[in-house]
């Protein structure tokens, strides 16, 4: 549903930036493009290399209008700016509190890694923000474009993998606390974190192996990853992004949704209303932020023919920016929703020493009924 709404939004507004009525961002550059015809309606923004010039791409008018329209040059950088403005302080403070004021439990290790992934995602977004805000002009060079693309997808999907790990850990803790007490420990948490980081790194290595900066014909714009030769899209980018969407996005999203659904079913008792609300919120945010971009990415690369999906990349670009907002929501769902965590934050900000507390023994913690300690979202 979200994917279709985004697609309709982008394609609907592109009518105002059609070749007959150029958008304000076209700056009279619509000349020189190839005519859009039924025989050439590319998927996403694949371009045609100009004769005797391998540095310049030629786009059809419809793709060009979407690429230079207000969605790409205003909405997308606004979403990235929101992710940076909220994600940096929220995750930085959360990571600080988790590292200095929260008891060292296996679950804390998972949450620290999640906060670190969201913090790193916010740190790698400024180059993309600058690029889109400057009207699709990449000023940093080819190597930086490859690194920025890999870093964006790596930290985004790394965050999704860690979210799945946290969901699995919480499912075991809330639904099977006694049966899995021998499994849930430092080894499992460390293994899940290491697997998430390694998988994200491995899936994004291919994104550094192909050229991604091209000059747009008839303009001074240097595009970063937003327009690529059609042959390269079919031969290289289609399998690379299919693996990324299925293994880095679809698999973790399915695991998160399954664990949340099973947890909600197990916590049907009214005593666990708070835990149910938090779990339902995790379920809703996972669907909202990760499902649209992954669905659009799979559709984008599902069929190799140039007439398959038209200018679908025009909807994928804002959905990818929307996915980065998950880094803003995570701290408030997983950390600041806990009254105990908020107290620790205020204590830290006020430069007061933490109050003396006694950590419950392992036996007393594990002997509780499922959900008995779920007032704290950190457990």
96 lies in some domain: yes
Output the pLDDT for position 303: 62
177 lies in some domain: yes
Lowest mean pLDDT among 25-29, 170-174, 286-290, 304-308: 25-29
Domain CATH for 304: 1.20.1070.10
346 lies in some domain: yes
Which has the closest alpha carbon to 14: 61, 83, 52? 61
80 lies in some domain: yes
Output the pLDDT for position 21: 31
**pLDDT beyond 60 at 71:** yes
148 lies in some domain: yes
Give me the percent of the chain exceeding a pLDDT of 70.
75
20 lies in some domain: no
**pLDDT beyond 90 at 326:** yes
Is 141 within 8 Å of 233 (Cβ atoms)?
A: no
Is 29 within 8 Å of 218 (Cβ atoms)?
A: yes
82 lies in some domain: yes
**pLDDT beyond 60 at 46:** no
Number of domains in the chain: 1
Is 248 within 8 Å of 160 (Cβ atoms)?
A: yes
216 lies in some domain: yes
Q: Residue 210's domain spans which residues?
A: 69-366
**pLDDT beyond 60 at 49:** no
Confidence category of residue 134, pLDDT binned at 50, 70, 90: very high
**pLDDT beyond 90 at 62:** no
Give me the percent of the chain exceeding a pLDDT of 90.
41
Confidence category of residue 342, pLDDT binned at 50, 70, 90: confident
Q: Which residue blocks in the chain are alpha helix, DSSP H?
A: 2-13, 61-68, 70, 76-100, 106-124, 126-133, 142-175, 186-204, 230-232, 238-243, 251-266, 273-300, 313-324, 326-330, 339-349, 362-366
Per residue in 194-253, pLDDT (tens digit) is: 999 999 999 999 999 999 999 998 888 999 998 888 888 878 888 888 888 888 889 999
């Amino acid at each position: 549903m979200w994917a279709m709404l985004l697609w309709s939004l982008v394609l609907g507004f592109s009518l105002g930036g059609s070749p007959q009525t150029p958008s304000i961002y076209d700056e009279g550059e619509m000349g020189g493009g190839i005519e859009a015809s039924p025989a050439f309606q590319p998927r996403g923004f694949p371009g045609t290399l100009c004769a005797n010039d391998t540095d310049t791409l030629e786009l059809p008018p419809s793709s060009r209008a979407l690429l230079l329209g207000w969605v790409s040059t205003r909405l997308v950088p606004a979403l990235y700016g929101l992710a940076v403005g909220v994600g940096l302080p929220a995750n930085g403070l959360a990571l600080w509190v988790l590292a200095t004021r929260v008891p060292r439990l296996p679950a804390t290790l998972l949450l620290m890694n999640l906060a670190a992934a969201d913090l790193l995602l916010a740190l790698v977004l400024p180059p993309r923000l600058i690029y889109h805000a400057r009207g699709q002009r990449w000023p940093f060079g080819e190597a930086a474009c490859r690194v920025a693309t890999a870093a964006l997808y790596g930290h985004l999907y790394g965050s999704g993998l860690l979210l799945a790990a946290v969901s699995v850990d919480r499912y075991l803790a809330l639904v099977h606390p006694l049966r899995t007490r021998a499994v849930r420990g430092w080894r499992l948490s460390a293994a899940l974190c290491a697997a998430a980081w390694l998988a994200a790194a491995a899936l994004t290595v291919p994104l550094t192996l192909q050229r991604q900066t091209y000059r747009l014909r008839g303009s001074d714009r240097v595009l970063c990853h937003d327009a690529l030769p059609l042959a390269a899209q079919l031969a290289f980018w289609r399998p690379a992004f299919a693996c990324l969407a299925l293994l880095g996005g679809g698999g973790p999203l399915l695991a998160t949704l399954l664990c949340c659904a099973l947890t909600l079913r197990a916590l049907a008792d009214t005593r666990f209303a708070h835990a149910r609300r938090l779990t339902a919120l995790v379920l809703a945010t996972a669907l909202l932020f990760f499902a649209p971009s992954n669905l659009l990415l799979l559709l984008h690369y599902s069929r190799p023919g140039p007439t398959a999906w038209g200018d679908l990349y025009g909807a994928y670009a804002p959905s990818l920016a929307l996915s980065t907002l998950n880094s803003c929501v995570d701290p408030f769902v997983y950390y600041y929703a806990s009254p105990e965590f908020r107290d620790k934050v205020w204590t830290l900000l006020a430069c007061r020493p933490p109050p003396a507390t006694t950590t419950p023994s392992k036996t007393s913690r594990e002997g509780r009924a499922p959900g008995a300690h779920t007032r704290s979202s950190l457990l």
